[in-house]
Amino acid sequence: MYAVVETGGKQYKVTVGETIDVERLKADIGETVELDRVLMVADGEQVQVGSPVVDGASVSATVVDHDRARKVIVFKYRAKQRYRRKTGHRQDYTRLRIDEIKA
């Protein structure tokens, strides 16, 4: 059984027991969160597709960790203008462990 959920403007295909990294959520480590924007649920041959979400479906997950991603270097320059800017960005994320899929 798997589901497609939306959180933080991105979509994730999840199964029970899987660990995923999503955009930072306001939840403490060890807390249980409900992801209620379930776009699709598949259980073997039976598939439910929402329009846009599946009614009554939710995914239960536990917050495992809060961390920051690897640094992404942003380098801007204009040729022949002596213009150079080098900056970096580290995105915050939350690591979730999927506990249950309710269809």
Which residue segment(s) compose the domain that 74 sits in? 2-102
pLDDT of residue 94: 97
**Domains in the chain, number:** 1
Separation of first and last alpha carbons in the chain? 10
Among the listed residues 26, 27, 4, 31, the one whose alpha carbon sits nearest the alpha carbon of residue 15:
4
- Tell the burial category of 81 from Cβ atoms under 10 Å away from its Cβ (0-12, 13-18, 19+): exposed
Of the candidate ranges 21-25, 43-47, 72-76, 87-91, the one whose mean pLDDT is the lowest: 43-47
53 near 38, Cβ under 8 Å?
A: yes
The string of pLDDT tens digits covering residues 10-57 is 999 999 999 999 999 999 999 999 999 999 999 988 999 999 999 999
The model's pTM is 0.85
Distance (Å, rounded) from C-alpha 76 to C-alpha 86? 7
Three-state SS across 32-69?
EEEECCEEEEEECCEEEECCCCCCCCEEEEEEEEEEEC
